Amino acid sequence: MKLDGKVALITGSSRGIGAAIATLFAGEGARVAVHGRDEAALDVVCGRIAAAGGRALPVTADVTRLDDLEAMRARVEQELGTIDVLVANAGGTRTRPNQAVDEIDESGWRASIDGNLTATFLTIKSVLPGMKQRRSGSIVTISSAASRRPTPASPVPYAVAKAGIELLTQAVAMQAGPFGVRANAIAPETIMTENNERQIPAAMRPSMIDSHPLRRLGTPEDVARAALYFASDDAGWVTGVILDVAGGAVLVR
């Protein structure tokens, strides 16, 4: 079990990619804090983990507010133990695709930056000091293929926020490395989460599949396995890496 005895906090893990990461980490022996805003969805994920013999703690917090994050961290540490692994997964799109930069309203821009980049920064800010003090820890952030390959389907503020997450992750890797803390980012392409299953019409999927050299769309489990690698001792000498989990799509121009 790659994470036996570890405590992991995964933000945005009540569904989709985060839920897959929490479930896999628990199956690998970690005690997991499952974070989200939908308490019913949190209960489903935690119940699934418990039924498989794992241990999960449902937690809520506004990841754009440091005081909320500090309170959540304190609860996790009190009930599960000090945090060994942080997956800063919470985020999402806050503006429409196919918008020109000059058509994006200020509120949409700020919501996208805060909900992705600021949320990741504040989550790391809360957890990193303890990791540095213990001289051990692994931080995994979630970027996107959109950060380096803007397309009409990727809202500009979202892509910019994800690009910022990548640079932030590498800055943390540089600064926290001497304290034994690693930081890496995962950049997925199209992942068939519950939302995408509902939102992407069946007629669009064949052309999307053809744009990926591996000729399929990604699953939450694809991202979860990459996160497990970064979180585990298998990646003990790996830090500052941006890993494309994209089926080769970033190779296509």
Write out the catalytic residue numbers: 158
Segments in 102-217 forming alpha helices (H): 106-113, 119-134, 156-176, 194-199, 205-210
Q: Could you give the angle at the alpha carbon of 74 between the alpha carbons of 36 and 65, nearest 5°?
A: 55
Which is it for strands 137-142 and 31-35: parallel, antiparallel or unpaired? unpaired
At what angle are helices 66-79 and 119-134 packed, to 10 degrees? 40
Q: Could you give the angle at the alpha carbon of 134 between the alpha carbons of 128 and 137, nearest 5°?
A: 55
Q: Could you give the angle at the alpha carbon of 214 between the alpha carbons of 211 and 220, nearest 5°?
A: 95
> DSSP assignment, residue 170?
H
> DSSP assignment, residue 63?
T
Nearest residue to 237 (alpha-carbon basis) of 176, 177, 152, 191: 177
> SS3 of 184, please?
strand
Nearest residue to 34 (alpha-carbon basis) of 84, 81, 89, 114: 89
